[in-house]
């Protein structure tokens, strides 16, 4: 059987893929801890940790509890939404049990029950019910991805494609079974194989019987008188009954078979059932080969992740194990989008359309960063999203895969800083106020990106300023500096003076603006009612906008590489 080679090929790809993905857990640099260790040490320590967890009774109990409640019972999903739980239970148990009683039946049920035949009950009924179950799961999953606005926004083509792939396996299987039920060719083949006869006279009664009770669509339909049927029943009992139950219990395939009956002649002519068999077999092989390279991989990783999570948060684990735990977390993500639904800062995405703000999207960005597959533009977007995160921990609380996202984000923020993509405060530290004035001068964002309130463009904001220097005198940041000109480049009063002269760019990158502690004393004490602290906030906002706008421009025009100069350790006083 040449198709078997495809199965072996798919299985080899799957195995190699799984080994590759597992290997990456000990290689990917995730978090500063990964700098102080080697892949070998990471591997050895992970092995040790697993061993320790297995021999320690309490920890083993924790793992088994997680296996039962979280993996098998999917308690976390139930907590989120009963409908989603029904969906995922139907999908996961439908597919897993199909694998067990249908795909690998030769190694499971056939070994257990000597009289096993796929066309006998309860196996036929069970297979059809499981198919329906899995299909129902796929339909609810697709509906969920379509109905929930947050989930619809984060759904990628791959998420839908995988669901369609599962649906294709189940549907092709059902259609195949239906085609086999009505197929006269299949009947003839079976008669040759099991009855050992090719005598039309001898077969005729069996044909009549199978046309009536087993819905085989013969052309022309055999005569079905009572005598023939009685004889057919006897032949059936002798040759067929030990392997064949009536197809009515094929609850999914039988209605299809009834529908196909009028087309049976055409189907037989083009040998459709063979083609359907190829399709069903090859699509299933495709799914197997894709397993390690898509989120289907979560079949293996999510149970692991949940059992590891049951041992405690990553922060409580040994430092050497944390990078591997994070890598495993990346692989355990099913992109279900639950984290983004509960993310504290998700509303910001409505104002700043950077997908990396949403945890479910940021996770792939972190994976790309770790694998070294980022461009400056994507890394910049990832940094923007990452530093917006307030570490509220809700994503971790809701993640049904047990990923310690809180720990992952803390690590990825450090990785971003280290790779030269800090938060805006970090960027500004790289150059002096006058350098930034030059860099940012040409990058005023388009009018559409203007904030709803804009104080700095309005001369009325500053007209009352008399340069009395009260703001500077009450500023705690100025107060702790031995030399404000050196540490801060300018004082609040000097910033206000530049603003009076409408020299926004000159002030935008000043240390004073970025070391403002936002205590609002300057504003509260200003005898002229100038909104000093609000203006400093606005200058930072404007610089942030220009920074990301400049980066966008650089991305769209690769020849202009000088917009944001590379990091330099010099040039910034007091840094």
Partner 1 sequence: MAALRYLYFPGCKLTPFLPDYDRDTRAVLAALDVTLEESELNCCGYPMRHNDFTAAMYCGVRVLALAGHKGLPLLTPCKCCYGNLKQADYWMRRSSDLRRRMNTLLEKEGLFWREDLVVRHLLTALDQDIGPARLGARVRRPLDRLKVAAHYGCHALRPGDVTQFDNPLAPTIFERVLAATGARCVEWPLRLECCGQPLWEKNDRLALALTRRKLVDAREAGARVLATACTYCQLQFDQARGPGDPAAVSVSKILAAAFEIEEAEVSGFEF
Q: Which residues bind partner 1 (CB under 8 A)?
A: 342-348, 350-352, 388, 390-394, 406, 423-426, 451-453, 476-477, 480, 514-515, 517-521, 523-525, 531, 533-534, 537-538, 540-541, 544-545
In whole angstroms, the minimum distance from the beta carbon of 388 to partner 1 comes to: 7
CB-wise, 200 or 347, nearer to partner 1? Answer: 347
In whole angstroms, the minimum distance from the beta carbon of 544 to partner 1 comes to: 5
Q: CA 42 → CA 88, 324, 363, 413, distances in Å? A: 33, 7, 22, 21
In whole angstroms, the minimum distance from the beta carbon of 394 to partner 1 comes to: 8
In whole angstroms, the minimum distance from the beta carbon of 78 to partner 1 comes to: 18
CB-wise, 335 or 342, nearer to partner 1? Answer: 342
In whole angstroms, the minimum distance from the beta carbon of 518 to partner 1 comes to: 5
CB-wise, 207 or 545, nearer to partner 1? Answer: 545
CB-wise, 318 or 392, nearer to partner 1? Answer: 392
Q: Give the closest residue to 393 by CA, choosing from 377, 375, 378, 405.
A: 405
CB-wise, 78 or 345, nearer to partner 1? Answer: 345
What whole-number distance in Å separates Cα of residue 463 and Cα of residue 414? 43
Query: DSSP class of residue 108?
Result: T
Q: Is 574 left (phi over 0), alpha (psi -120 to 50) or beta?
A: left
What whole-number distance in Å separates Cα of residue 339 and Cα of residue 73? 20
CB-wise, 284 or 523, nearer to partner 1? Answer: 523
In whole angstroms, the minimum distance from the beta carbon of 245 to partner 1 comes to: 52
CB-wise, 258 or 531, nearer to partner 1? Answer: 531
CB-wise, 378 or 541, nearer to partner 1? Answer: 541
What whole-number distance in Å separates Cα of residue 327 and Cα of residue 29? 9
CB-wise, 1 or 482, nearer to partner 1? Answer: 482
Q: Give the closest residue to 431 by CA, choosing from 558, 563, 311, 553.
A: 563
CB-wise, 344 or 435, nearer to partner 1? Answer: 344
In whole angstroms, the minimum distance from the beta carbon of 300 to partner 1 comes to: 30
In whole angstroms, the minimum distance from the beta carbon of 502 to partner 1 comes to: 19
CB-wise, 19 or 519, nearer to partner 1? Answer: 519
The string of DSSP codes covering 125-161 is HHHHHHHHHHHHHHHHHHHHHHHSHHHHHH--HHHHH
Q: CA 461 → CA 499, 517, 530, distances in Å? A: 9, 21, 6
CB 159 within 8 A of CB 277: no
Q: Give the closest residue to 216 by CA, choosing from 202, 203, 198.
A: 203
In whole angstroms, the minimum distance from the beta carbon of 412 to partner 1 comes to: 14
What whole-number distance in Å separates Cα of residue 126 and Cα of residue 93? 12
In whole angstroms, the minimum distance from the beta carbon of 496 to partner 1 comes to: 16
CB 94 within 8 A of CB 143: no
CB-wise, 9 or 480, nearer to partner 1? Answer: 480
CB 548 within 8 A of CB 446: no
- Residues with Cβ < 8 Å from 207, sequence gap 6 or more? 187, 216, 218, 222, 232
Structure token pair of residue 310: 């049951």
In whole angstroms, the minimum distance from the beta carbon of 268 to partner 1 comes to: 56
In whole angstroms, the minimum distance from the beta carbon of 79 to partner 1 comes to: 13
Q: Is 561 exposed, middle or buried (0-12, 13-18, 19+ CB in 10 A)?
A: exposed
CB-wise, 367 or 550, nearer to partner 1? Answer: 550
In whole angstroms, the minimum distance from the beta carbon of 301 to partner 1 comes to: 25
Q: Is 451 left (phi over 0), alpha (psi -120 to 50) or beta?
A: beta
235-242's contacts with Cβ under 8 Å and 24+ in sequence apart are: 235/195, 235/205, 235/206, 235/209, 236/206, 236/209, 236/210, 239/191, 239/194, 239/195, 239/206, 240/190, 240/194, 240/206, 240/210, 242/115, 242/117
Place of tokens 């090859």: 282
Peptide bond into 220 cis (omega under 30): yes
């Amino acid at each position: 059987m040449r198709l078997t080679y495809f199965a072996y090929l798919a299985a080899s790809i799957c195995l190699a893929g799984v080994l590759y993905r597992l290997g990456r857990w000990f290689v990917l640099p995730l978090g500063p801890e990964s700098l102080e260790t080697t892949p070998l040490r990471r591997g050895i320590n992970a092995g040790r940790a697993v061993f320790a967890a297995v021999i320690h009774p309490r920890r083993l109990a924790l793992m088994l509890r997680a296996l039962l409640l979280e993996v098998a019972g999917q308690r976390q999903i139930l907590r989120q939404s009963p409908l989603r739980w029904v969906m995922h239970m139907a999908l996961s148990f439908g597919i897993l049990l199909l694998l067990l009683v249908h795909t690998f039946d030769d190694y499971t049920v056939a070994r257990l029950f000597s009289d096993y035949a796929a066309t006998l009950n309860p196996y036929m009924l069970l297979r059809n019910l499981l198919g329906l179950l899995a299909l129902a799961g796929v339909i609810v999953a697709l509906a969920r991805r379509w109905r929930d606005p947050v989930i619809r926004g984060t759904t990628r083509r791959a998420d839908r494609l995988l669901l369609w792939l599962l649906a294709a396996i189940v549907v092709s299987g059902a259609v195949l079974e239906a085609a086999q039920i009505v197929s006269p060719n299949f009947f003839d083949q079976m008669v040759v194989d099991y009855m050992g006869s090719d005598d039309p006279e001898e077969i005729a009664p069996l044909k009549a019987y199978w046309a009536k009770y087993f819905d085989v669509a013969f052309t022309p339909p055999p005569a079905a008188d009572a005598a023939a049927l009685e004889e057919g029943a006897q032949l059936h009992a002798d040759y067929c009954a030990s392997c064949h139950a009536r197809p009515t219990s094929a609850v999914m395939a039988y209605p299809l078979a009834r529908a196909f009956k009028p087309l049976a002649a055409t189907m037989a002519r083009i040998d459709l059932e063979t083609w359907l068999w190829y399709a069903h077999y090859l699509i299933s092989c495709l799914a197997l080969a894709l397993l390690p390279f898509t989120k289907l991989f979560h079949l293996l990783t999510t149970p692991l992740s949940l059992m590891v999570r049951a041992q405690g948060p990553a922060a409580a684990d040994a430092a050497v194990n944390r990078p591997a735990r994070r890598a495993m977390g990346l692989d355990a993500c099913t992109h279900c989008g639950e984290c983004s639904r509960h993310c504290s800062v998700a509303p910001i995405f409505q104002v700043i359309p950077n997908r990396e703000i949403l945890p479910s999207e940021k996770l792939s960005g972190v994976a790309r960063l770790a694998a070294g597959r980022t461009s400056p533009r994507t890394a910049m977007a990832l940094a923007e999203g990452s530093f917006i995160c307030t570490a509220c921990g809700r994503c971790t609380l809701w993640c049904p895969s047990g990923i310690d996202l809180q720990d992952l984000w803390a690590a990825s923020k450090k990785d971003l800083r280290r790779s030269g993509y800090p938060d805006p405060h970090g960027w500004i530290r790289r150059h002096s106020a006058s350098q930034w004035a030059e860099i940012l001068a040409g990058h005023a964002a388009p009018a559409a990106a203007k904030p709803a309130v804009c104080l700095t463009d309005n001369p009325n904001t500053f007209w009352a300023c008399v340069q009395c220097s009260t703001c500077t005198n009450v500023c705690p940041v100025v107060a702790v500096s031995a030399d404000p000109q050196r540490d801060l480049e300018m004082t609040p009063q000097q910033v206000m003076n530049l603003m009076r002269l409408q020299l926004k760019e000159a002030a935008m990158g000043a240390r004073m603006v970025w070391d403002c502690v936002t205590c609002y004393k300057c504003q509260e004490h200003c005898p002229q009612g100038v909104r000093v602290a609000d203006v400093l906030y606005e200058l930072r906002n404007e610089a942030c906008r220009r920074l990301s706008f400049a980066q966008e421009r650089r991305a769209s025009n690769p020849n202009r590489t000088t917009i944001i100069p590379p990091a330099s350790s010099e040039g910034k006083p007091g840094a």
